[in-house]
A and B are shown apart, each in its own frame.
Chain A
């Protein structure tokens, strides 16, 4: 089955052929899969070796000359290891880039903590003006990536091996209203949608689907809001978007339940599904916590 990463690679190949301004900067991760692109565009496909600070600095330098860089690696090595470069070499220099990560929170659960990055979105949220896409299906990757590449801003695209069975329509900057209910609202981010739909079966809830979380579509949240009980289901650090919801609902009494990956290191290997279950992020775990909140 085609993964989000596969779609990222094929889309980027096509875009490199068509967009003379586009460049790709790698630090060995995925370099073998871009061999053909490197052959065709030797000056715009740059593999710096296992040097993540340099990967980000080089991308920003390319942007300073007017190119549009895509920077790609495993999430911890793209966002966390070179975090000061991400902070200073892009926003502070007033240039943009498209950061595309793989690995998500624990796609490679057996790889352990070193290859897990549940805090990536929260870290970027501490910086100004990052657009953050969290696609839930490989088909959503292509339109989000094409849109990101066509602009000049700072965009993070968080790819995962976990995905929903079917894609949702990509509405740039907007949440998709999956269903309407009166007892509260669930915001399901990216790959969390299928399990949220399973967990909320039979419950009278509005379900919003978010493939883009920054900016956070508070307009649709408010426009569809029934009873002001909101449940956030995010595939990364729990509470990452809680402050946005709290600000949007500051004018009315409301309740908020934030579900996501806890801070505490699990120290278990196994599969992503086992980690979901451990964190209460599988359908039964979500349903149990949602029902307790809504009672």
Chain B
């Protein structure tokens, strides 16, 4: 979709609370409402090679929000980076809004996959990475964001096993860990990925420099898992 509109100047990090308020109507936001905010910001601000101008370029980096619940942080970052007009945020959840409580790739420019039902994003991301590899597109990265509770879904374990065996080093899974999985992950989530041949590490999910470092690690023949630890869900 090309709206023909000029891309607005990107907004700085400090504007995100205001953008979130356009959707929530609230002045302040609990950590649980923004558990993904720092990760998504760091990705779009410092890591991913994608912009409103290149969002249909086959050589772009892909970001797949698998954990589609609570997409306000995602929409806020997309608006800040010029993928959608800031004013659109006010329509969040309305009948004719492109911005639902779960994102839809058909309705929102720059959204790579529609999500909401948990456990679809990682398998799709593995397919995207394999599709790029089959077309000899070695440059683009595929980054998929999941939640620690989302890892309960068995489909993710199908995908992480295959990605490890295939050595899909264009793939990065970032798991927002707010300890919301009902039965927990004894030994930590990073260990699950590592045992399947991934390069896995845990970082502070609020520390921008640490996140950037984790996302910028050179490719080494293995997919990467970044467990971004944030405040426990209340």
Contact = CB atoms under 8 A, between A and B. Distances in A.
A54 B123 contact: yes
B120 A88 contact: yes
A154 interface: no
B124 A61 contact: yes
Contact of A57 (B106, B123, B133, B161): B123
Contact of A61 (B104, B119, B125): B125
Interface string B36-58: 00000000000000000000001
Interface string A89-113: 1001110000000000000000000
Interface residues of A, number: 28
Contacts of B127: 57-65
B131 A61 contact: yes
Interface stretch (A45-53, A185-193, A211-219): A45-53
Nearest to A45: B134
Contacts of B133: 43
B contact patch SS: helix
B120 A89 contact: yes
A60 B105 CA distance: 13
A46 B130 CA distance: 9
B135 A65 contact: yes
A191 B103 CA distance: 43
B216 to A, nearest CB: 24
Contacts of A88: 114, 117, 120
B116 to A, nearest CB: 8
- Max chain B C-beta neighbours (<10 A), residue from A44, A61, A88: A61
A23 B132 CA distance: 12
What is the interface residue range for chain B against chain A?
20 to 34
A62 B128 CA distance: 5
Contacts of B124: 57-58, 60-61, 64, 89, 93
B93 to A, nearest CB: 18
A94 B106 contact: yes
A73 interface: no
A61 B127 CA distance: 4
B158 A66 contact: no
Contact of A54 (B106, B113, B162): B162
8 contacts: A54-B123, A57-B126, A57-B155, A60-B127, A62-B134, A65-B135, A92-B114, A93-B114
Interface of B: 58, 104-106, 112-114, 117, 119-120, 122-135, 137, 154-155, 158-159, 161-162
Given A61-B127, A93-B105, 20 more contacts: A23-B131, A51-B161, A54-B162, A59-B127, A60-B124, A61-B124, A61-B129, A62-B127, A63-B131, A64-B112, A64-B113, A64-B127, A65-B135, A66-B131, A67-B131, A67-B134, A85-B120, A85-B123, A88-B114, A93-B113
